A and B are shown apart, each in its own frame.
Chain A
Amino acid sequence: AQSVTQPDIHITVSEGASLELRCNYSYGATPYLFWYVQSPGQGLQLLLKYFSGDTLVQGIKGFEAEFKRSQSSFNLRKPSVHWSDAAEYFCAVGGSISNFGNEKLTFGTGTRLTIIP
């Protein structure tokens, strides 16, 4: 069964500092990997996705993530965070095929990001 682990429940970063959010996955084949952001009171917005090809993917809002097969990781990074980046971030893995071909997304438990001035 596929699974996602986000080991950091809460991270605090100073505005302007760099950011890395960790994500480890378990999946039997090449996974489809996603990062979503949830701002307070909002739904989830897709930041970036990895299907195949270049292991460094660029997303919206200046985020990027790197797929490392050997480490089963898909960490999210940003060189310089802004106060508006304060939100909850979810890593997700897809690709599980049920009898009906459901490409179900399995989400991690999320990492809450706090930005301090």
Chain B
Amino acid sequence: EAQVTQNPRYLITVTGKKLTVTCSQNMNHEYMSWYRQDPGLGLRQIYYSMNVEVTDKGDVPEGYKVSRKEKRNFPLILESPSPNQTSLYFCASSLESRLTYEQYFGPGTRLTVT
């Protein structure tokens, strides 16, 4: 089954404790992206990756890191989480970044930072 998976689905952590949210897709998609969803703000892009070893900042990259060492994986790293990073996070992928652009979303990771 074609899908985007994220782990963990729920995470409660404390300020400053480094964490990683994994994202994996099995569709051989080139483009991957991370979003955060906050009430009243919709989804905002954190980082994206056009292909392996190619990443760039989205609209709200502060406090986050990503890497794209393999085509299928795109982990989101919070080196020193803060309470303002409490949010619902979505990973998404699409076949390519141009023209026929259609994103498939993972189920989401609800993160709480205390």
Contacts and interface: CB of A to CB of B under 8 A. Distances in A.
Interface residues of A, number: 25
A44 B104 CA distance: 8
Contact of A109 (B42, B48, B104, B107): B42
Interface stretch (B13-21, B76-84, B94-102): B94-102
Contacts, number: 60
Contacts of A102: 48, 50, 56, 97
Interface residues of B, number: 28
Interface in A31-87: 32, 34, 36, 42-46, 49, 51
Residue among B90, B99, B101, B106 with max Cβ neighbours from chain A (10 Å)? B101
Contact of A104 (B45, B54, B105): B45
A88 B86 CA distance: 20
Interface of B: 4, 31, 35, 40-45, 48, 50, 54, 56, 58, 90, 92, 97-108
A105 interface: yes
A101 B97 contact: yes
